[in-house]
Amino acid sequence: MTEISDREHYFSLIREFEHRPFVQTEGWYDFHEKQKPGSVRLFVDNPDAPEVACLAHVKKLAGLKMLMIQGECLKSGAVEVAKIRQFYGSFRALDFDIIEVNSFLPYQTAYEIGIREAGYLRPVGLFSIHLSLWIDLTQPIKYNDNWKRNIRLAEKSDLRFRLIDTPQPADAAAFAALYRELIEDKAISHSISAVQTELLLSTGNFGLAIVTNAEEEWLSAIIYHKSGGHAGLLYAAKGEKAKACGATFFMYNELFSALKARDFISFDMERLLPSTHSSQGVFQFKQGVKGRMVTYNGEWSWYKRSYLRPLMYFVKRFLMKRTEM
């Protein structure tokens, strides 16, 4: 494993990788590096001919040094036990007390064997969602009755859909404002500023689609990531007026058609959480589109000392107030 210090060189090495999650893109790097300069590090298995690579975040907590890896990107879709074992095993020689991996790639048995043989275990508690829904854009999209009803409503409401290929600062500000309206309505804790939105949209790794009414008011909007023939949801926002006219349903339907016309073959609805609390509504909404359920490789951790494993659960669950998934 080799660390690459130059941003441009690293991304030139992985640009043609087949599997490249949104957390392994230039836009994601800039998004985080802007907030905490020097906190992002870049690694490849082989600097001359890389096949596995990752963007990782350095964090410090209570005197502990942690490396957080939001998955990895692969040159090909075929996961090999030896490559995963060697790549993640090499991180153990670095000066970190805790290494956490959260892979957004579809689950493969070879991945689990490789990372376990590298010394990693599942953490005591899981705090991220590993279930998603992939839509096949090469086939006609099938919806449930609720989606069909709302799409018909939207068609009567004089809505306009638009892909914004070159977003401007004003577009970033408009999206951030619409997202603030959403989080106030849904009491969501996460937020995204206009500056952060502009950073994400500036690199070409992410696209922006919007729905407006006849007065050009933004009703619904989505930031989606794109890698090769695959795209997926990152942030979606909607205003109060979107509810009455089916704007969000209309937006996804039009987006699927637009992506298909641009030769995308699949779309990831991202983060499905069946449950009994408030997230159930989001789950049911996404379930309204027929697709293939996908489970990610998910969370894995390595600890220099054994007592750190239960300690990290305590910190996340009770100090950081994170919700187990």
Distance (Å, whole) CA 87 – CA 259: 34
Per-residue pLDDT at 181 exceeds 60: yes
Statement to judge: residues 102 and 169 lie in one domain: no
Q: What is the mean pLDDT of residues 51-72?
A: 92
User: Is the domain of 237 the same as that of 303?
Assistant: no
Are residues 36 and 102 located together in one domain of the fold? Answer: yes
Residue-wise pLDDT tens digits, 284-318: 889 899 999 999 999 999 999 999 999 999 988 88
Same domain, yes or no, for 113 and 248?
no
> Would the pLDDT of 278 be above 70?
no
* Residue at 249 is within a domain: yes
What is d(CA 41, CA 29) in angstroms, rounded to the nearest whole number? Answer: 9
- Range with the poorest average pLDDT among 49-53, 241-245, 248-252: 241-245
Q: 145-155 vs 247-261: helix axis angle to the nearest 10?
A: 90
User: Residue 134: beta bridge partners?
Assistant: 268, 292
pLDDT at residue 323 in the model = 82
Task: Report yes or no on 41 lying in a domain.
Answer: yes
Same domain, 101 and 200: no
In this prediction, residues 248-253 reach a mean pLDDT of 96
Q: 305 with 284, same domain?
A: no
Model pLDDT for residues 121-167, shown as the tens digit of each residue: 999 998 888 899 999 999 999 999 999 999 999 999 999 999 998 88
Same domain flag for 153 and 284 = yes
Are residues 278 and 303 located together in one domain of the fold? no
The lowest-confidence range among 52-61, 201-210, 266-275 is: 266-275
pLDDT tens-digit series, residues 5-43: 999 999 999 988 888 888 999 988 988 888 888 899 999
On whether the CB atoms of residues 101 and 303 are closer than 8 A, the answer is no
> Quick check: is 180 in a domain?
yes
What is the structure's pLDDT at 280?
64
Asked whether the beta carbons of 35 and 50 are under 8 A apart, the reply is: no
pLDDT class for 185, splitting at 50, 70, 90?
low
Say if residues 172 and 198 touch (Cβ distance below 8 Å). Answer: yes
Task: Answer whether residue 100 shows pLDDT above 60.
Answer: yes
| Residues 300 and 283 placed together within one structural domain of the fold | no
Give the DSSP H/E element, type plus range, for residue 132: strand 131-136
Based on the domain organization, do 9 and 147 belong to the same domain? no
Question: What is the C-alpha end-to-end distance of the chain, expressed in Å?
Answer: 32
In a domain, 136, yes or no: no
pLDDT at 40: 94
Structure tokens at 99: 């290494």
Give the total number of structural domains in the chain: 2
Structural domain of 285: 143-289
Confidence band for 320, pLDDT divided at 50, 70 and 90:
confident
Element holding 90 (H helix, E strand): helix 81-90
Best CA proximity match to 74, nearest among 130, 21, 133: 21
Question: What pTM does this model have?
Answer: 0.89
Do the domain assignments include residue 85?
yes
User: Same domain for 147 and 283?
Assistant: yes
Residue 188 is predicted with a pLDDT of 63
Specify if 135 maps to a domain. no
Whether residues 161 and 119 fall in one domain: no
Give me the pLDDT at residue 92, please: 96
CATH code of the domain covering residue 57: 3.40.630.30
At 58, the pLDDT band (50, 70, 90 cuts) reads: very high
* 156 located within any domain: yes
Residue 198: inside a domain: yes
